Structure 1
Amino acid sequence: MASSSSPAYYQGSFLISSTPTRCYLICQPCSPRPHRRKQNGVRCSVAERRLLFSRIAPVYDNLNDLLSLGKHRVWKKMCVSWSGAKKGDAVLDLCCGSGDLAFLLSQKVGPNGEVSALDFSWKQLLVASARQDQSWKSCYNNIKWFEGDALNLLFDDTYFDAITVGYGLRNLIDKPKAMKEILRVLKPGSKVSILDFNKSTSSFITQFQDWTLENVVVPVAYTHGFSEEYKYLKSSIADFLTGKELEELAKAVGFSDARHYQIAGGLMGNLVATA
């Protein structure tokens, strides 16, 4: 599917078009949905979540480094490695945020590959685009930024050789629909690699995770003026799926295989599902 006329292409900008035979422009914000989800007493709509991630966009990278002591970079490299992306591939980074995984994918697929990076927050995309423009790595020129809806991907069927999702699936209202869309745009035999907080079945890990969020994450975010935004983390993890449930979901929507790996002592997890 492609637009009838192809608008101008702006490299390094989230306002992107590509050739009519490939992916095409998603230049308008997806409309806020009226649906609101209750999260342990917290009600959070799609529009509110978009606003949340837009507010934290300017400090998102610095806070990630600070809160994880830089370890999130290791976990993201693992996520990209599990995706199976290789030279010359067409890949998608879904819920791309400020672009960490997209930049890693760019290096994996090389100048002959292509990276599509999609997010619902245009402010996050502006940060990602600025990072692309400021980089000395020429391979980053193969990244195209899209503003759009992860539940309604405007890409052709069986288009991508690999897909990554970093800390995004947890924030989507309709996870089964998101997984179906991922499966639809993946080539048969290709993989999606989904990194996120792990909802552990271990009471010890859950208690440690809660303690870390309440005593480290929120206080540090408070010093940057974003304590309310980061309080959302705890409720979103509580409402997330366990590793086993993620595997079951992937298989239920049609993936041929799904494995969930616990990392960082069980605080994080990575689902790898094969189309």
Structure 2
Amino acid sequence: MVTLHHCLPSITGQHRRPVFPFKQRPIRCAAAAERQELFNRIAPVYDNLNDLFSLGNHRIWKRMAVSWCGAKEGDNVLDLCCGSGDLAFLLSEKVGPHGQVTALDFSKEQLQIAASRQQVRSKPCYKNIKWVEGNAVDLPFSNSYFDAITIGYGLRNVVDRPKAIEEMYRVLKDGSKVSVLDFNKSTHSITTSIQDWVIDYVIVPVASGHGLASEYEYLKNSIKEYLTGDELEKLALEAGFSSAKHFEIGGGFMGNLVATR
């Protein structure tokens, strides 16, 4: 993990696996390994189901998250828990062809899908993304390395969230921001009831048609075990961030934490 590649090579013909320029560190925790397997299984239908379940609104929320991170032309930025690459592609448009985007995920299958999406996109800026298989609580980057960080729908699935926040703080430059997009753990009972109903009677039944009922049943518990906006702000401040603000979006069903180092 010594050499940074500025892009994945152009690929024609046969499919190639994503390039991982950093040393891969093992996922040690059993719970984390289980979640890794879960995201490997849902990878083939992940994007289509996101579009269906959010009626396409996840694309708006992701643009908001990228905007809040403050990435600009020429920056070196990180997208954690990148999945199939939506935020990474948006970040690459922000930093331009002379910037650099590192996109990290623990799911090899998701990274392969992201890399294949990169191959068919023609904008020069999309070549500035490199895909890294790695662990959000043990980032293979030096201190104060990035100008901005995004993480979309990932922190909720990290077993050791305080450690993940500390790692984001460590690899960010002073004055830089992290933008954390995820489901909102609402403190309002009506919002929570609607959220539970949608998961039980819309999301899980649709997912079951793809043989993924148990994978999406996990969603409701993961939200219940997540942190409220106030708790996320407190966690960021305890990790050392100078400021932290959580915004409720998507009618209160989604949330975005913005923290400044």
* 1:11 to 2:15 alignment: no
Q: Is the 2:25–2:134 contact (alpha carbons within 8 Å) kept by the matching residues of 1?
A: yes
Name the counterpart of 1:227.
213
> In structure 1, which of residues 30, 46, 51 is the aligned counterpart of residue 26 of structure 2?
30
* 1:57 to 2:43 alignment: yes
Q: Is the 1:161–1:190 contact (alpha carbons within 8 Å) kept by the matching residues of 2?
A: yes
Cα distance in 2 for residues equivalent to 1:113 and 1:189: 18
The one-letter code of the counterpart of 1:196 is D
Q: Is the 1:200–1:242 contact (alpha carbons within 8 Å) kept by the matching residues of 2?
A: yes
Q: CA deviation at 1:31?
A: 3.3
Q: CA deviation at 1:135?
A: 1.1
> In structure 2, which of residues 131, 140, 149 is the aligned counterpart of residue 154 of structure 1?
140
Name the counterpart of 1:142.
128
Specify every segment of 5 or more residues in structure 1 that has no aligned partner in the other structure, as ranges: 18-24, 35-44
Cα distance in 1 for residues equivalent to 2:147 and 2:86: 19
Say what the alpha-carbon RMSD is for the aligned residues: 1.6
TM-score by length of 2: 0.94
Secondary structure of 2:98's partner?
coil
* 1:206 to 2:183 alignment: no
Deviations 1:92-125, CA, capped at 9 Å, x for gaps: 0000000000000000000010000000000000
Name the counterpart of 2:13.
none
213-222 vs 184-193, which deviates more? 213-222
Q: Tell me the matched-pair count.
A: 254
> In structure 2, which of residues 61, 85, 93 is the aligned counterpart of residue 107 of structure 1?
93
Q: Is the 2:8–2:129 contact (alpha carbons within 8 Å) kept by the matching residues of 1?
A: no
Cα distance in 2 for residues equivalent to 1:169 and 1:182: 11
Specify every segment of 5 or more residues in structure 2 that has no aligned partner in the other structure, as ranges: 11-16
Name the counterpart of 1:67.
53
Q: Is the 1:14–1:147 contact (alpha carbons within 8 Å) kept by the matching residues of 2?
A: no
Cα distance in 1 for residues equivalent to 2:122 and 2:139: 31
Matches within 5 A, 1:119-138: 119-138=105-124
Secondary structure of 2:72's partner?
coil
